[in-house]
């Protein structure tokens, strides 16, 4: 029952020109794959082997740093690949659109706050849109932490995440993290975000 690297749900060049093919291939095939391998090594022979990643995250403070870093890495990237897509992006749809209006006022105001969270996360980490008691909040976490974790400042169910580690953008955008963040809005898979929102409420 080892953890497994999920296949990308689209071709590695499908998100061009926003997210480039080489970055997608290295990010998924090397970085994410390494988190899966290292997670499996960290849980081998322990009770964690048969637990869900979500349950592991919820009690992460009880486990070794290798479980936190690689379990978080596996969860975060799996969510990331599923919530971006080709022929996507733009304004949100469905119940998430309504919830964004309710929580932030407008889609532009949401973008402003999410961009700020992603831009100001110092060093490596993630920006998140999370569901807390049925409502949307924006937060960020360091390294491979996420809002499911008992160590997170803002706890909730993530329905959208943006990886702001340099490995996510350096090949195409070099030091220009803001350009990478701006490109992200062209690939958000609002259909899947709505699915996650419905499941989280």
Q: How far is CA 85 from CA 17, 139, 175, in A?
A: 12, 22, 24
Closest separation between CB of residue 35 and Mn ion, Å?
Answer: 8
Q: How far apart are CA 142 and CA 24, in angstroms?
A: 21
Q: Are strands 157-163 and 135-142 parallel, antiparallel or unpaired?
A: unpaired
Of 165 and 197, CB closest to Mn ion: 165
Q: How far apart are the first and last CA of the chain?
A: 29
Task: Report in angstroms how near the CB of residue 167 gets to Mn ion at its nearest.
Answer: 5
Shortest Cβ distance from residue 102 to Mn ion (Å)? 31
- For residues 82 and 150, is the Cβ–Cβ distance under 8 A? no
- C-beta of 112 vs 166, nearer to Mn ion: 166
CB-wise, 104 or 173, nearer to Mn ion? Answer: 173
Instruction: Give contact residues for Mn ion (rule: CB under 5 A).
Output: 163, 165
Given the complex with Mn ion, which of 30 and 176 has the nearer CB atom?
30
In what helix (H) or strand (E) does residue 142 lie, and over which residues does it extend? strand 135-142
If the CB atoms of residues 73 and 92 are measured against Mn ion, the closer one turns out to be 73
Residue nearest Mn ion (C-beta atom): 163
Supply the minimum distance, in Å, between the C-beta of residue 109 and Mn ion.
Answer: 27
Q: How far is the CB of 161 from Mn ion (least distance, A)?
A: 10
CB 48 within 8 A of CB 63: yes
Min. distance of Cβ 27 from Mn ion in angstroms? 6
Could you give the angle at which helices 33-43 and 65-82 cross, rounded to 10 degrees? 140
Distance CA 38, CA 42 (A): 6
Q: Are 144 and 73 in contact (CB under 8 A)?
A: yes
Residue 90: other Cβ atoms inside 10 A = 11
In the complex with Mn ion, the residue whose CB is nearer, 145 or 163, is: 163
């Amino acid at each position: 029952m080892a953890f497994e690297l999920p296949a990308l749900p689209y071709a590695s060049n499908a998100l061009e020109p926003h997210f480039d093919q080489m970055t997608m291939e290295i990010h998924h095939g090397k970085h994410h794959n390494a988190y899966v391998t290292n997670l499996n090594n960290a849980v081998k022979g322990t009770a964690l082997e048969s637990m869900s990643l979500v349950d592991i995250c919820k009690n992460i403070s009880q486990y070794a740093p290798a479980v936190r870093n690689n379990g978080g890495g596996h969860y975060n990237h799996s969510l990331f690949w599923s919530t971006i897509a080709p022929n996507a992006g733009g304004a949100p749809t469905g119940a998430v659109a309504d919830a964004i209006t309710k929580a932030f006022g407008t889609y532009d105001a949401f973008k402003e706050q999410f961009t700020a969270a992603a831009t100001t996360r110092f060093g490596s980490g993630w920006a998140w849109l999370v569901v807390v008691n049925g409502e949307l909040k924006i937060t960020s976490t360091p390294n491979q932490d996420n809002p499911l974790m008992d160590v997170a400042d803002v706890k909730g169910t993530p329905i959208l995440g943006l990886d702001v580690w340099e490995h996510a953008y350096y090949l195409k955008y070099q030091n220009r993290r803001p350009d990478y963040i701006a490109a992200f809005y062209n690939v958000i898979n609002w259909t899947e975000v709505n699915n996650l929102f419905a499941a989280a409420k």
